[in-house]
Amino acid sequence: MEPDSTEPQTETAAISANATTDPLTSQFGSLNDVTHELDTLQDLATRGSWLTILEKVTQALSLSVLSKPHDRLTYISFKILALSKLCRFAEASQELDSLHDFGSSQYQYQSYPEIYPSRTGSMVPFTLRWLYALIPIKLGNRQEGLDRLYTLLDFVREKIKEKESKNLDVSVNVWERREVFVMHCLTGFHLGQKEFGVCLNLIKELISRDLSDPVMISKLGYIQMQIGDLEGAKSSFGRVEKMLSEGNGNGLLSEVEFRNLVNRNKALVYLVGKDYVSAVREYDECIERDYADVIAINNKALCLMYLRDLSDSIKVLENALERVPTMALNETLVINLCSMYELAYVNHVDIKKTLSNWIARVAPDDFDSSCTRL
């Protein structure tokens, strides 16, 4: 969670040493007993330990052990993120509301010259701004969320101009990546509502900035398929394949990832034409290169199901789970496997219970167990 500071970020979320004499925490051996540094919180986030993060951060905030304003704000960001991951969106929204205006002077480094003598700018983490836009959508207020996302996009673009005017190339790169991230979010939300025209405009704008992004061009092809422009999709997919043959992928993907992307694009064309056998062949090539290609595995299983080979379809997904247990964390794959169980077995409830119990041992806190439909 990076701050918006105009200066390079050198501070960590470590608590200042002089806070150890605080009577509120004197009962503990050290501050590490009640809170964690950012590296630890980020490690917990990577492992999906959101309940642990929530417990530790809530404890630190309640004991007032965070001595610097930006420490407190960063920890609140982790709390809101954890609540969001746990689908406790109403609580996350209340936490956000308690922060009030992000543009307030209380969130500016220069408001605390005695603590940050050489820093200026906002200390609000970008993640917090993004959550501010995301959570209304999760609460069913889609338009409010979209408005906030577009406002965030404008904010990011203003930051890019500001950094460019100061020749801060490293900062420009950071904010440009954030711009792409927000545009990806917008594309995903509009795609979910089948607003394909808006999606096309966003994707084409992104491609115009980077003509050598094979993932983006592939996504364009996917959207073209959604609106029935099969020839346009084939053209986009062909463009990606040509990039592979010419070695023109801008280093965004490894060779295996690039080749699998091309195979998956071909498979989509076959799927539209209901040539499931050819689609399976393309997915097999992907899996042979990378046995953890969850998209290829999931789609191969669906193709086999369409070919009325339900037994082999189930085996594909079960074998994938045996090879790579973390595959169980892909909710789409689990949903499809459970649907196949329902079609194939009379005692599907017992089978799904066994699967659900196994998943519970490996899944992170934010895994949606309802996907097993028990």
What pLDDT, in 10s, does the model give residues 196-239? 999 999 999 989 988 888 999 999 999 999 999 999 999 999 99
Residues 29, 31, 35, 40, CA torsion sign = negative
For residue 173, the number of C-alpha atoms closer than 13 Å in the C-beta half-sphere is 2
Mean pLDDT score across all residues of the chain: 87
Indicate if the pLDDT at residue 9 is higher than 60: no
Rounded Cα distance between 34 and 19, Å, is 12
What percent of the chain stands above pLDDT 90? 69
- Contact status, residue 276 vs residue 301, Cβ threshold 8 Å: no
What percent of the chain stands above pLDDT 70? 90
Position 37 scores a pLDDT of 66
Position 12 scores a pLDDT of 26
Delineate the domains of the chain, giving CATH numbers in brackets: 1-128 (no CATH), 287-374 (1.25.40)
Position 218 scores a pLDDT of 96
pLDDT, tens digit, for every residue of 87-119? 999 999 999 999 989 999 999 999 999 999 989
Higher pLDDT, 284 or 6: 284
The number of helix segments (H) and strand segments (E) in the chain equals 16, 2
Indicate if the pLDDT at residue 17 is higher than 70: no
pLDDT mean over 179-204: 93
Please tell me what DSSP assigns to residue 108: B
Position 31 scores a pLDDT of 35
Residue 190's pLDDT band (boundaries 50, 70, 90)? Answer: very high
Higher pLDDT, 127 or 32: 127
pLDDT mean over 338-357: 92
Concatenated DSSP letters of 119-142: --EE---HHHHHHHHHHHHHTT-H
Give me the torsion for CA of 244, 248, 254, 256, rounded to 10°. Answer: 10
Position 1 scores a pLDDT of 54
Q: Tokens at residue 177, please?
A: 């990546």
Position 327 scores a pLDDT of 74
Amino acid at 279: A
pLDDT mean over 3-29: 32
> In whole angstroms, how far apart are CA 366 and each of 81, 188, 242, 294, 342?
11, 20, 40, 19, 25
Rounded Cα distance between 327 and 136, Å, is 30
Bridge partners for 252 per DSSP? none
Q: What are phi and psi of 236, to 5 degrees?
A: -65, -45
Rounded Cα distance between 303 and 300, Å, is 5
pLDDT mean over 322-339: 86
Position 325 scores a pLDDT of 81
